[in-house]
Amino acid sequence: MPPLKVLIAEDDLLSQRMLVDMIKDAGITDVHTANSGAQVLSKIDSQLKPDILLCDLLMPGVDGIDLLRLLGERNFKGEIIIISGCDRRIINAACNVALHYQLRLAGSIEKPVDVNKLMRMLRYWGEMKRGAPVVDERLTFSRDEIKTAISSGHILPYFQAQVDINTAAINGVECLARWQHPARGLMLPGDFLLQLTEFNLLDAFNEAMFTLALAEFKSLHQQYHIPYMAFNVAPESLHRGAVVAKYKQWVVNAGLDPANIVIEVLESDYEGRQELPVVALNHFRLKGFGLAVDDFGTGYSSLERVSKIPVSCIKIDKRFVVEAYDDEVARSIIRNTVHLAKELHITTIAEGVESQAEWALMRELGCDAIQGFVIARPKVARQFKLWLNSMPSAMTCVGGLAS
């Protein structure tokens, strides 16, 4: 695997040197620096592709806010960590700018930089990269290549556990698509979903993935009494006229009940100008399906969305989970989200939990369940069963599970 590549955008040379030393102490040797936003853009335009960009806000010329806008226009794919000594409200505003331009925001850190928080973020995204081999963005797939992958079963359902935050009992699983490409290795949905839509193969992909996942989940449900499977449905599919009837029929054909399935939609897929598929989402609930909102808090008008659709679950975005340990603002967002959910009798799941300390904090903030590497990485059904068989029969020790 190529080493993690980090670019630091910091005009203060002393701060820049300290950040370089911190990152190298974490075992990352491919570190680049820039003294201004203009230098960042120049390096990126010259084909430097950092996995992580550490971005100061107060820089000469092209400042941090301008830089985020210009990176959005360039469709920058790296993770961004905002580092600043500005007022927390200004940092939050910068985070909102990054999200507005659909950049991948890993989090923010106030100056002076907490080395432990920075190390946690770098470790998290390093783990993510190890789970998803880098694919050359200039390479694309042909329609026949994707169509063959779907029909041949090369795109498989992986399962990740969601557990009760107090007892560690498994509440359910989330189905996650993975493409085992013969030349490029294991790929995540972000590597091929856009082309699925471009080639009008999204419906074929959804049907193949969902029906295969149902067959494998039925075994998990019957043998291990796992109550439900969460399945992600792309927003484009929700505007199809008969989508709900098709999903119900597939569930019935598999010998399951709609109550065993949670339809998961990404809140961050919607912006203010986009129409909500309210009819389809309400129809899913009417037919007995569960309904979850993923990435809660990162998209457009979260509270308005919850008021319009009868969700049964809110998934708190991993960005807030990562930041919450050291950031009162992130803790407040989670705390208020949990309060809202309890008022509306909605379950909350914290995503991306990777340590026992984060597990304990999410429990303290009132979350109902967690999902993340601290429990286990996503696995194909066969490996997931082996993992289940290796677990203790009584899962009562919070933080006692290993992946």
**What pLDDT is recorded for position 395?**
44
pLDDT tens digits, one per residue of 314-362: 999 888 898 888 777 788 888 888 988 888 889 999 999 988 999 999 9
Domain 5-131 has CATH 3.40.50.2300: yes
Q: Which stretches does DSSP call E strand in 250-326? A: 261-266, 290-296, 313-316
**What pLDDT is recorded for position 135?**
44
Nearest to 160 by CA among 202, 182, 131, 196: 131
Q: C-alpha dihedral over 377, 176, 290, 401, to 10 degrees? A: -10
- Tell me which residues of the chain have a pLDDT lower than 50: 1, 132-139, 268, 270-274, 299-301, 393-403
Domain range 143-390, CATH architecture: Alpha-Beta Barrel (3.20)
Count CA atoms within 13 Å of residue 294 on its CB side.
17
- CA gap 103, 129 in Å, rounded: 17
**What pLDDT is recorded for position 399?**
43
- Provide the β-strand partners of residue 263: 231, 291
Would you list the domain boundaries of the chain? Answer: 5-131, 143-390
**What pLDDT is recorded for position 211?**
96
User: Within a 10 A sphere around the Cβ of 239, how many other Cβ atoms?
Assistant: 11
Total residues belonging to the chain: 403
